Amino acid sequence: MSAYRAHQSRRDFLRTVAGSALTATALAAGASPALAGPAGATRTGSGDALPDGALRDALRAITDAGMPGVFAEVRDGRETWRGASGVAEVTTGRPMRPYFQHRIGSITKTFVSTVLLQLVAERRLWLDAPLRRYLPRLAPAGVTVRMLLNHTSGINDFDNVIFGSVENIEKYQHTTVRPLELVAMGMGQPPTNAPGERHSYSNTNYVLAGLLLERITGRPATVEITRRVLRPLGLHRTYFPGTDPRIHGPHAAGYVPWVDGTLRDFSVFNMSWAWMVGDIVSTTADLNRFFRGLLGGRLLRPAELAQMRRTVPIDPAAPDGARYGLGLLTAPMPDGPVWGHDGVVLGHHTVSLHSPDGRRQVSVALNATHYWVPGQPDPIGMALNAFLFTALGGTATPETTLRGRTPAGPLANGPLTAAPGTAVLHRPLPRAHVAG
């Protein structure tokens, strides 16, 4: 019998695939105060803008709903709240901590876009110039630089190829992939739409964006982003691991319910496939510092920041819902719009959302992905949305937590299929090749 039961709730599905030994120490930990209680929640600052008790309860609700572990940092001006709930490792019960490093997935794209917009300010790059001006051998006709950054190019997504099967996921865990190989995978598929016609999220766009950055600067993209962004902002715990599969610093495991009935830890992974798509390792504190610097004008001039905030609807059928700019998304909330990005790679999920001026901020990281059964209730996603609303100074209601990427909320269909943050599978593990 397959471990994938479409009729199960997410929590029951996790328990089924985890097996009895893991269930007792991990997924059932949401019901255990010893394991699921906030681990080392702290705050700094003397104000009362951050509701300590409400944040603790909302964070714990995520692990109560079935997530093994979660940690977050919330900021309002000079006030900071940090908290964690649940376990970093299901086999040992090691608690999650708020200072852990984490793979941030597609939030990497915001860093890439920031540096390209700095090049625009230096008049070394033009957003509406044909991409062929800079990458003549790679760019399809009609695609501009702007279309790469806001995902309207129509170029297809390489992850449909590279993560199209369980076997490939295991293969690429230990395989180095070059950027030109990723471009070939994406370009080898039919276009999703005509250039500029509509938003269609594709990781291939940001591989090309990285190659564009290197072509203009003459330096590796990782070096240029480190020089222009990480060092000036003092993001000392943020880096590009590249082909090094391990996270070098305190961190949690990264779990995916696997087809053999176990929770597979993917925290060790050769991330060369992610490159400028989703390679960065960071912390919630560094993410908040980055977005405050970006939205507060430390990294871009007003003209380039305004270009970054020129958006297109993520779903053309919902023009008043979430929208995507140049490596930056915005979502309407009851108390006003928020800006940021989300990211998913195997076993690591991160959301980073901020007020337009970067004063009110939340970054949250979770250590399990690809567990949601489509069409089934999503208690983890609902709890995550409720925490985000609380952290951003709002009040979540059943309607706002369920509606997803609409005027009421930032996430669509739960935390795993949220566009545009999924840097790998846009669905649970493929049912093909599953024994039973």
Cβ contact 48:32 at 8 Å: no
Omega of the bond leading into 420 within 30 degrees of 0 (cis): yes
Q: Count CA atoms within 13 Å of residue 20 on its CB side.
A: 0
Q: Which of 106, 153, 267, 363 is catalytic?
A: 106
C-alpha dihedral sign at 107, 110, 115, 119? positive
Q: Angle 340-245-289 (CA atoms, 0-180°, nearest 5)?
A: 25
Residue 407, CA atoms < 13 Å, CB-side half-sphere: 7
The neighbouring-strand residues paired with 344 are 349, 422
List, in order, residues 6 or more apart from 317 with CB less than 8 Å away. none
Token code pair at residue 142: 């009609």
**Which of 320, 316, 329 lies closest to 196, judged by CA?**
316
CA–CA separation, 108 vs 130, rounded Å? 24
Rounded CA-CA distance 102/210 in Å is 22
Q: Please give the span between the terminal C-alpha atoms of the chain, in angstroms, as a whole number.
A: 4
Give start and end residues of each alpha helix (H) in 245-397: 275-278, 284-295, 302-308, 379-391
- The number of beta carbons lying within 10 Å of the beta carbon of residue 34 is 9
Q: Closest Cα partner for 128 from 139, 144, 116, 112?
A: 144
H or E stretch covering 57: helix 52-64
For residue 128, the tally of other CB atoms under 10 A from its CB is 8
Active site annotation includes 113: no
In angstroms, rounded to a whole number, what is the distance separating the alpha carbons of residues 300 and 296? 9
Q: Which of 231, 241, 345, 376 is nearest to 293 (CA)?
A: 231
Q: Which residues are catalytic?
A: 106
